[in-house]
Homo-oligomer: A and B are copies of this chain.
Amino acid sequence: MNVSSARLLDGNRIAAEIRQSVTPGVAAFTSRHGRAPQLGIVLVGEDPASEIYVRNKVRAGSESGLLVDLQRLPATGTLDELLQLVRQLNASDGHDGILVQAPLPAAMGRSATQRVFDAIDPAKDVDGFHPTNVGRLVQGRAHLPPCTPSGVIEMLDRSGIAIARTHAVVIGRSDIVGKPMAMLLLQRDATVTVCHSKTPDLPSVARQADILVAAIGRAAFVTPDFVKPGATVIDVGINRVTDAAQVTSLFGAGAQRVADFQKRGSIVVGDVHPAVAEVAGALTPVPGGVGPLTIAVLLKNTLAAAEARAAEG
């Protein structure tokens, strides 16, 4: 059993706070415009993880009063069919937000994801992945910031954790988390270091962090030697582990998560090793940390897109 000293940052609670501020906004929009803000979600194929993500998004959107239009394409669908669907959603006056769930089937080709994101109308790009929205984020004037990094900022703010004048270290440099996360932390006056798989002596770089964001997609990669005592550790990883020995070694025989594993055959583990709870000052759990915030920001962005479109039109 671990001796946990870290304060756990409850993503479900904070996401509920955000959603409580979105719901009245959705209701006000709906009564003002005679229609609810509408989010179009496109799901290609039947990837099990994507099915779960999409189901959670549909449910959360509906609970907040949004219309959610789930459009499916078969795994055998072509890139042209997908682009055609995106163009239809762009042209639809009733759709305010568009989200194409990644990953796309490998058969669509390596550049498919980028081509699809490029095709989404920036005004409806609630994921914030279109290059124009990425550029506006860098310039400190994002209208639709990417959901996960924006959710991390919300979590820090609503947990009373200061960002300005801290040293933040982001492990991972993806387009959808690492790089926008660095930009948002910089805009909030943190000193920001981005490190990655090619960084020599990663633990010693990470150990400088007052705020450490782990976004590399490797289960339990961030061990206690990465963490300065008392640091805030944000775990963005969502890694499905199917190896019994790995689960036992991570959590210790008899732990609740091992029992969960034995029941289901797999569990979801973050990028942060459980033992980090003994060193960190504050820590986001997985699941129940950053994940719910990503969805809450998606709802917030959909409302923001609807309001901006209504103000334009």
Contacts and interface: CB of A to CB of B under 8 A. Distances in A.
Interface stretch (A9-17, A43-51, A81-89, A190-198): A190-198
Contact of A165 (B182, B192, B193, B198): B198
Contact of A191 (B167, B179, B191, B199): B199
Contacts of A186: 173, 179, 194, 196
Contacts of A183: 179
Interface stretch (A128-136, A153-161, A230-238, A293-301): A128-136
Interface centre among A175, A180, A199 (most CB of B within 10 A): A199
A20 interface: no
Nearest to A180: B138
Overall SS of chain A's interface: mixed
A122 B175 CA distance: 21
A178 B173 CA distance: 17
Interface string A149-191: 0000000000000001101000001010001101100100101
B194 A192 contact: yes
A175 B139 contact: yes
Nearest to A202: B191
Given A191-B199, A192-B194, A175 B138 contact: yes
A21 interface: no
A74 interface: no
A189 B179 contact: no
A202 to B, nearest CB: 9
A200 interface: yes
Contacts of A135: 130-138
A189 B173 CA distance: 10
Nearest to A179: B138
Nearest to A187: B173
A195 B186 CA distance: 8
B165 A200 contact: yes
A114 interface: yes
A60 interface: no
A67 interface: no
Contacts of A164: 198
Contact of A139 (B114, B167, B194, B205): B114
A282 to B, nearest CB: 20
A191 B200 CA distance: 9
A144 to B, nearest CB: 12
A263 to B, nearest CB: 41
A141 B115 CA distance: 12
12 contacts: A130-B135, A131-B131, A134-B134, A134-B138, A138-B175, A139-B175, A164-B198, A173-B186, A189-B198, A191-B198, A191-B200, A192-B193
Given A191-B205, A192-B194, 4 more contacts: A130-B135, A132-B132, A139-B175, A189-B198
The 9 closest A-B pairs by CB, nearest first: A131-B135, A134-B135, A135-B135, A193-B193, A189-B198, A191-B199, A191-B195, A132-B132, A131-B136
